Amino acid sequence: MRIGLAALSPARRTTLMRSDAVQRLLAFAALIAIILIFSLLSPNFLQFDNVVGILIATAVNGILALGVTFVIISGSIDLSIGTVMTLSSVMTAVFITEWHAPVPVGILAGVSTGALAGIVNGTLVAKLKIPSFIATLGMLNVAKGLALVVSGLKPIYFNDTPDFNRAAMGSVIGGVIPGLDIPNVVLVLFGCALVASLILTTTVLGRFTFALGSNEEAARLSGVNVVGWKIAVFTLAGIFSGIAGVLIGARLNSAQPSLGQGYELDAIAAAVIGGTSLSGGEGSILGTVIGAFIISTLTNGLRILSVPQEWQTVVTGGIVILAVYLDIVRRRQQQ
Amino acid sequence: MSSRSMRVFVALGAAMALLVGACGGQPATTGGASASTSAKLFIPMISKGFQHQFWQAVRQGAEKAAAQYNVTITFEGPENESQVDKQIEMLQAAINKKPNALCFAALDSKAAIPLLQKLKDQNIPVIGFDSGVDSDIPVATAATDNIAAAAAAADKMASLIGMSGDVAIVAHDQTSRTGIDRVKGFTDQIKSKYPNIKIVSTQYGGGDQLKSTDITKAILQANPNLKGVFGANEGSAIGVLNGVKESGKSGKVVVIGYDSGQQQMDAIRSGEEAGAITQDPIGIGFKSVEAAWKVLNKQSVPKNIDTGFHWYDKTNIDAPDIAALLYK
C-alpha cells in the first residue's frame, strides 16, 4: 500500500511542480515590478540600507509563513502562529532574564514552546477531529492569554544579555566582508527557508504533507498514519513560530506580550501570494518566500513614499485578492 | 465515533461552564457586596485597555484611592483601542452589577451615550478619566490635556534641533482621541510657531513596537536629512528608538517620546532619547476614584480635573516629583 502511494506521488508532483512554477514566476515578476516602480518613484528606495531594511522586515513574517505553508499544503490552517510566536518570545525572556539561563537554553525554551503548541494543535485537529480553523483559533487565544499571564502583563527586557540582541542584529557577513553588514536575522530567514524547502521536497514528511492536502482519504487508505503526520506538520509550524518568537524578542530587545495577533494573517497572505492553495495539496517554499518579500517590499515602499496609512492597508489587501484571483484564472486554464 | 465526539462536547461544555463561572464569579461577589447595601461603595472602572503599562499604572492609582477611601473597585478594559464594541459590553455588564458610581474612559463617546444616559436616569454618577467622555453626563473628568502636552513636545523638539529642519511623527492610531490630539497638538504647534521646521511624514504603527520600528526606518530612508522624530505613545516611541538605532543614527536624530516604561527610561539615561512627556497615570486613577467618592458623599468636585503632564529628560529623570510619575 505504501509503495502504491509512493509510486503515484512523483507523477502527480511533477504536474504540481509545473503549475506551481507558473505562479512562482508570476509572483517573482510582480516582486521585480514592485521594486522597479518604487525605484522610479523614490531615489531613496533602492539603496543598500533600505534593501537590508526590507530583508530584516521580512524575517519574522517570512519564518511564520514558512510554517503555515506546510499546514496549508496539508489541507488545514493555523491561525495561532502569531500569538504562539509571542508566547515563545515571552518564554525565552523568562528563561534568560528571570531565571538567568544561558542564552542558548533560552532560545531552546522559546522554540520548544512553539513546538509544544504545535503538538497540541496537531492533536486537537488530528486526534480529536476539531476543525483546524476552530482548534487553532482557540490556541490563538490560549497562547495570547498565557503570554500575558506568564509575563505578568509587562514587557520583559534582555538588558542584562546584550549578546542576545547582538546574535540577531549583528552581522557575521559584515565581519568577513567589511561593508556588507547584513544582520544575522536575514541569514536565519534564508537558513530556515532552505531547511523548509528541503523538508518539503525531499523528505517523507514533505511527501505526506502534499498527500494529506491532495486527498486525505486516499492517503489513509494507502496506509499512511494520517494522525501522526498531521501532528508532525503542526509541530513544524509551531517550531517556526518559536524561531520567529526568538527573533522578534532579539530584535526588540524585549518580549512584548501584547503584540502578535494579526501576524498570522500576513503570514497566510505571504503563502497565498506565493501560490500555496488554500484548498491544500499545492505550494512551495520559494513561492512563500517571494510572497513574504512582496508584502514587506510593498509596505516599505509605500511608507517611503509617505502614502497615508489607510491607503497602505487598502493596497496590501488588494494585492492579496489579485494574487488569489490570478491563481484561480491559471487553474481554470489548466483544466 | 459519535459517542466519542459527544464526550468531547460534554467535556468542552463543562470546561466552558467552568470558565464562565470563573469569569463571572469574582465580579458577582463584589456586586453582591454592593447590592446588600453594606457600607463599602462599589465603583467599577472601565478603561481603554489593561495590558499596557500605562493602564496598569492607572489601576495602581485607582487601587490606592480605593484603599484610602474604603471603596471596592474593579478595573477592566478591552485589549486594544479599536475594540469599541467590547468596551460597550463591559460597560453594560458593569451597569448590570448596580454600581454606586462608575469611572469610564471612552474609546468612542458617542457609541456609549445610550448606556451613559441609562446611568444618568438611575442617578448613578459617571466620572470620566484619561480621554474622558465627550458629553454632559460625566460629573467630572480626570485627564491629561493631550493637545497641550504634545505642543510642549513640539517646543522641546524645536529647540533641540535648532529651530529649523525636517521632523516626523510616529503615532499609534488616527482614530482614537489620544492619537488625534497628540498628532494635532504637535503639528499645530510646529506650523504656527516654527516656520522653518517641516513635518515631512506622519505615520501610524498601531502602537506595535515592530511595525513602528520598520516605519521609522522607512521614514529615515526617505528623508536622509531628518533631524527629529516624535513617538506619540510608549509603543511608538520604542519603535522609533529601535528604528533610529538600526539605521545607525543614534545620537544624530533627536528622539522625543511619550509616557515612560523601562526601555524609554534607559534610552533617556543613555542619551539615545532626548526626553519624553509623561502624564500622571497614577494620578489619573487616583483622582477619578477620589472624585467618585466625593460625589457620592455630596462633596463638590471640579468639572475638569487636569492631572497635568511633565517634560522629563536625563537631568530630572531621578528627581522625586518626576520619578513618582514614571512606571517601569
Domain containing residue B98: CATH number = 3.40.50.2300
**Closest Cα of chain B to A100: distance in Å?**
19
Q: How many folded domains does chain B comprise? A: 3
Mean pLDDT across chain A, nearest whole number? 89
Taking contacts as CB-CB distances below 8 angstroms, the residues of chain A near B13 are none
Whole-angstrom distance, CA of residue B173 vs CA of residue B180: 8
Looking at the fold, whether B81 and B19 belong to one and the same domain comes out as no
pLDDT of residue B19: 46
Whole-angstrom distance, CA of residue A193 vs CA of residue A208: 19
Q: What share of chain B is helix, strand, coil (3-state, %, to 5)?
A: 50, 20, 30
For residue B112, being part of any structural domain is answered with yes
Set of cell numbers at residue B67? 484603599
What angle, rounded to 10 degrees, do the helices at B209-222 and A226-252 form? Answer: 60
Give the rounded percent of residues in chain B with a pLDDT score beyond 70: 88
Tens digits of per-residue pLDDT, A221-258? Answer: 999 999 999 999 999 999 999 999 999 999 888 898 88
Q: How confident is the model at residue B27 (pLDDT cuts 50, 70, 90)?
A: very low
A17: three-class secondary structure by DSSP: helix
Taking contacts as CB-CB distances below 8 angstroms, the residues of chain A near B174 are 309-310
Q: Considering only A203-212, A239-248, A310-319, B316-325, which range has the smallest mean pLDDT?
A: A310-319
Taking contacts as CB-CB distances below 8 angstroms, the residues of chain A near B262 are 155, 157, 159
Looking at the fold, whether B269 and B294 belong to one and the same domain comes out as no
pLDDT of residue B14: 52
Q: Which residue has the higher pLDDT, A277 or A79?
A: A79
Amino acid identity, position A181: D
pLDDT of residue B170: 97
When mean pLDDT is compared over A121-130, A171-180, A278-287, B4-13, the highest value belongs to A121-130
- The residue-averaged pLDDT of B287-302 equals 94
Q: Are the CB atoms for B123 and B131 separated by under 8 Å?
A: no
pLDDT of residue A9: 47
Give the rounded percent of residues in chain A with a pLDDT score beyond 90: 63
Residue A16: Cβ within 10 Å count? 18
Whole-angstrom distance, CA of residue B306 vs CA of residue B324: 17
Tens digits of per-residue pLDDT, A77-118? Answer: 999 999 999 999 999 999 999 999 999 999 999 999 999 999
Whole-angstrom distance, CA of residue B131 vs CA of residue B108: 10
Whole-angstrom distance, CA of residue A146 vs CA of residue B51: 13
CB of B246 within 8 Å of a chain A CB? The answer is yes
Q: Which residue has the higher pLDDT, A275 or B126?
A: B126
Cα angle: B27, vertex B32, B35; to 5 degrees: 125
Q: How many folded domains does chain A comprise? A: 1
pLDDT(A8) > 80: no
Looking at the fold, whether B53 and B76 belong to one and the same domain comes out as yes
pLDDT of residue B296: 94
Where do the DSSP E strands lie in A218-330? 254-255
pLDDT(B26) > 50: no
pLDDT(A4) > 70: no
Range of the domain at A126: 2-334
Interface contact B210-A253, CB threshold 8 A: no
pLDDT of residue B30: 38
- The residue-averaged pLDDT of A137-149 equals 96
For residue B328, being part of any structural domain is answered with no
Q: What is the CATH number of the domain that holds A300?
A: 1.10.3470
pLDDT of residue B9: 53
Count Cβ neighbours within 10 Å for each residue of A227-258 and write b for 16 or more, e otherwise: eebbbbbbbbbbbbbbbbbbbbbbbbbbbbbb
Interface contact A252-B213, CB threshold 8 A: yes
pLDDT(B326) > 70: yes
For residue B320, being part of any structural domain is answered with no
Range of the domain at B245: 146-279
Q: Are the CB atoms for B237 and B258 separated by under 8 Å?
A: yes
pLDDT of residue A19: 60
Burial (CB count within 10 angstroms: exposed 0-12, middle 13-18, buried 19+), residue A105? middle
Tally helices (H) and strands (E) across chain B: 11, 12
pLDDT(B284) > 80: yes
B192: three-class secondary structure by DSSP: helix
Burial (CB count within 10 angstroms: exposed 0-12, middle 13-18, buried 19+), residue A174? middle
Looking at the fold, whether B297 and B250 belong to one and the same domain comes out as no
For residue B315, being part of any structural domain is answered with no
